[in-house]
């Protein structure tokens, strides 16, 4: 299962705009279309606007009968937890309360917390969540830098008082795939099994070392039930695990079998809503992901297209089939191109590829220091001077 953090951790990115509600609702529907299992709607304790947006999104889930399951973040404070219960009452949907608390020695030192304080706070928060009849999802921040004995005690306390989901967090992007696997094995063996309860294990990773996707796949392999990510990896600092890349990998690994043809639309909708452009070389949904101007590459793709085989054309020079994710192969014309690029480009637009025209475009491309734009090529298609 996947939990989408775009509308919570994603909006904590220092570069984003907080989008208007209509755009958040559209993003919510695109998450649903991609079969994403759950969504963090925000931190309603953050203020009146945050609470209002979370309420409207929760009402949308109820009204549109969406399958996606909502959760909300909360510090371990009654003033953060209470608004979630108010929203549940007003919207009529169940919402998991994800109460989070720092767990690492570095955080304890900075905050002047000791283990007793952490245990008392955990107990108080989880009991309060349960007393409001909210499903309790207990989050230890900075789990990957915490001491094993400390996280064991914290989770045991949370589970004992009613938490039925625990979230193992790589808050600062510190973990490696091997470490992620070891940590999750530890959580299974030393925390969940001894509790005797059925507890969902979530993994929440960040991108500081660029290992978000690799760590998340390692977490799944080590038995995590749910992994968190955000569209385009937007989030605190350099961001969260990119959920779009997770979807692509899970589909290619055969771990999920669902229609992801709206993946590009989802990534673009988030990019537009938060004002963060998609880099051209971004995997799968970047503008260059399926674009080539290189002669050898283009020639192979064109031969595949001529066999009327889209599947073949989309895989002969790509590890990712573009049409699965709402993208198309694009053949461009530049200094590295061959004549087949030119002929294909013209034919695709219904322009007759005469020898004279092909030669003119080809010669121009060879003199250029970059790929020609469509309008430059169209101009060359006019009558010769």
Name which of 208 and 265 has its Cβ closer to Zn ion.
208
The span from the first CA to the last CA of the chain, in angstroms, equals 61
Shortest Å, Cβ 345 to Zn ion: 44
Stretch that binds Zn ion, among 6-14, 60-68, 174-182, 339-347 (CB under 5 A): 6-14
How many whole angstroms separate alpha carbon 199 and alpha carbon 246? 23
Total residues contacting Zn ion by CB under 5 A comes to 1
Residues with Cβ within 8 Å of 25's Cβ and at least 6 positions away in sequence, in order, are 56, 57, 60
Classify 167 as helix, strand or coil. Answer: strand
Name which of 88 and 201 has its Cβ closer to Zn ion.
201
Residues with Cβ within 8 Å of 49's Cβ and at least 6 positions away in sequence, in order, are none
Give Dmax (Cα) for the chain. 85
Residue 53 within binding range of Zn ion, rule CB under 5 A? no
Shortest Å, Cβ 303 to Zn ion: 46
Shortest Å, Cβ 171 to Zn ion: 6
Name which of 9 and 80 has its Cβ closer to Zn ion.
9
Instruction: With CA atoms as reference, report the closest residue to 200 among 208, 209, 191.
Output: 191
Burial of 220 from C-beta contacts in 10 A (0-12 / 13-18 / 19+): buried
What string of DSSP letters covers 42-56? Answer: --GGG-HHHHHHHHH
How many whole angstroms separate alpha carbon 156 and alpha carbon 137? 13
Q: Which of 6, 8, 9, 146 binds Zn ion (CB under 5 A)?
A: 9
Stretch that binds Zn ion, among 7-15, 267-275, 279-287, 342-350 (CB under 5 A): 7-15
CB 180 within 8 Å of CB 218: yes
Name which of 54 and 342 has its Cβ closer to Zn ion.
54
Burial of 193 from C-beta contacts in 10 A (0-12 / 13-18 / 19+): exposed
Name which of 9 and 332 has its Cβ closer to Zn ion.
9
Shortest Å, Cβ 5 to Zn ion: 7
Stretch that binds Zn ion, among 8-16, 24-32, 100-108, 151-159 (CB under 5 A): 8-16
Tokens of 188: 């299974």
Stretch that binds Zn ion, among 2-10, 67-75, 187-195, 344-352 (CB under 5 A): 2-10
CB 203 within 8 Å of CB 215: yes
Measured from the Cβ of residue 17, the count of other Cβ atoms closer than 10 Å reads 12
Stretch that binds Zn ion, among 5-13, 121-129, 190-198, 374-382 (CB under 5 A): 5-13
Name which of 9 and 244 has its Cβ closer to Zn ion.
9
Shortest Å, Cβ 259 to Zn ion: 28
Shortest Å, Cβ 6 to Zn ion: 12
Cβ-proximal residue to Zn ion, closest one: 9
Shortest Å, Cβ 275 to Zn ion: 20
The CA-based angle 135-201-269, given to 5 degrees, is 80
Name which of 9 and 202 has its Cβ closer to Zn ion.
9
- Give whole-number Cα distances, 265 to 80, 260, 272, in Å: 33, 10, 10
Shortest Å, Cβ 101 to Zn ion: 13
How many whole angstroms separate alpha carbon 362 and alpha carbon 286? 27
Shortest Å, Cβ 100 to Zn ion: 9
Stretch that binds Zn ion, among 9-17, 86-94, 244-252, 357-365 (CB under 5 A): 9-17
Q: List residues binding Zn ion (CB under 5 A).
A: 9
């Amino acid at each position: 299962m996947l939990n989408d953090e775009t509308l919570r951790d994603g909006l904590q990115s220092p570069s984003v705009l907080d989008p208007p509600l209509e755009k958040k609702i559209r993003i919510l529907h695109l998450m649903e279309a991609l079969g994403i299992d759950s969504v963090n709607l925000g931190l309603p304790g953050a203020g009146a606007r945050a609470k209002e947006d979370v309420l409207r999104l929760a009402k949308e889930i109820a009204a549109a009968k969406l399958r996606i399951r909502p959760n909300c973040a909360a510090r371990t404070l009654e003033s953060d937890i209470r608004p979630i219960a108010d929203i549940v009452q007003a919207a009529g949907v169940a919402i998991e309360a994800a109460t989070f608390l720092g767990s690492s020695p570095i955080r304890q030192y900075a905050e002047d917390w000791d283990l007793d304080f952490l245990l008392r706070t955990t107990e108080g928060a989880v009991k309060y969540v349960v007393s409001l009849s909210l499903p309790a999802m207990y989050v230890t921040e900075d789990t990957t830098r915490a001491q094993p004995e400390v996280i064991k005690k914290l989770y045991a306390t949370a589970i004992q008082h009613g938490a039925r989901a625990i979230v193992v967090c790589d808050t600062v992007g510190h973990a490696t795939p091997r470490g992620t696997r070891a940590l999750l094995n530890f959580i299974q063996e030393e925390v969940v099994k001894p509790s005797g309860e059925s507890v969902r294990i979530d993994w929440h990773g960040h991108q500081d070392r660029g290992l978000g996707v690799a760590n998340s796949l390692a977490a799944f392999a080590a038995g995590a039930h749910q992994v968190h990510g955000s569209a385009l990896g937007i989030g605190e600092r350099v961001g969260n695990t990119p959920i779009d890349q997770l979807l692509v990998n899970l589909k290619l690994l055969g771990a999920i079998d669902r229609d992801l043809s709206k993946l590009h639309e989802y990534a673009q909708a988030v990019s537009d809503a938060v004002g963060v452009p998609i880099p051209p070389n971004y995997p799968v949904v970047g503008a260059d992901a399926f674009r080539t101007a290189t002669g050898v590459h283009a020639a192979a793709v064109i031969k595949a297209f001529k066999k009327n085989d889209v599947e073949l054309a989309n895989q002969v020079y790509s590890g990712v089939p573009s049409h699965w994710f709402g993208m198309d192969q694009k053949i461009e014309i530049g200094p590295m191109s061959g004549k087949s690029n030119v002929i294909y480009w013209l034919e695709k637009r219904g322009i007759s590829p005469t020898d004279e025209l092909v030669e003119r475009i080809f010669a121009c491309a060879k003199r250029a220091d970059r790929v020609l734009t469509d309008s430059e090529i169209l101009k060359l298609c006019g009558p010769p001077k």
